[in-house]
Amino acid sequence: MEVDRKLLEHVAEVARLKLTEREINKFLPQLKEALEFFSQLKEINTDNVKPSFQPVELKNAMREDREEECLSQDDALSLTEHKKDGYFKGPRAV
């Protein structure tokens, strides 16, 4: 596995981050070192082992499909300056 500048910039773009030149030069060797170390997991035989996505066994927690109280529109909109006519306002889509 080659962790290089191209891969780093690609992963950052997928994660919606634009790295500066300073950040690329700083992060690249750091991430290389970390990922090389984490690769040690391949030493462990996990054939026929099921993954545990949670540490304790859980059942589906369902609730009845009924209306419940929720945030008012005003409250929901109160935490941003980007709003218009009772809606959130985002950047242009097209």
Partner 1 sequence: MSIHDFIKKIKNHEIDIVEHTYKLIEECKEINKEYNYLNTISEDLALNSAREIKIQLKQKNKNIKNKKLLGVAVSVKDAICVKDVETTAGSKILKNYKPLFDAFVIQKVREEGGIIIGKTSQDEFGFGGFSVNVGIGFKVPKNPFDIDRSCGGSSGGAAGLSQKLSNHIALGESTGGSIVEPASFCGVYGLCPTYGRVSRYGLIDFANSLDKIGPIGKNIEDVALLMSVISGYDKNDSTSLNTKNENYESHLKKPVKGMKIGIIKEAFGQGVEREVEKNVYNGIEELEEEGAKAEEISLELPIRYGIGTYYMIATSEASTNLAKYCGMRYGATEKLEGSFNEYFTKVRSSNFGDEAKRRIILGTFARMAGYRDAFYLKAMKVRTLMIQEYKKAFKKFDALVSPTASILPPKFEDIEKLSPLQHYMIDVMTVSPNVAGLPHLNVPVELECS
Strand (E) or helix (H) holding 31:
helix 21-38
Give residues 38-57 in contact with partner 1 (rule: CB under 8 A).
38-42, 44, 46, 49-56
- Does 91 interact with partner 1 (rule: CB under 8 A)? yes
- Output the six-digit token pair for 41: 């997991």
> Measured in Å, how far apart are the chain's first and last C-alpha atoms?
37
86 touching partner 1, by CB under 8 A: no
Give residues with Cβ within 8 angstroms of 24, minimum separation 6.
5, 8, 9
Instruction: Write out the residues near partner 1 by the rule CB under 8 A.
Output: 1, 7-8, 11-12, 14-19, 23, 26-27, 30-31, 33-35, 37-42, 44, 46, 49-56, 58, 61, 63, 71, 75-76, 78-82, 88-93
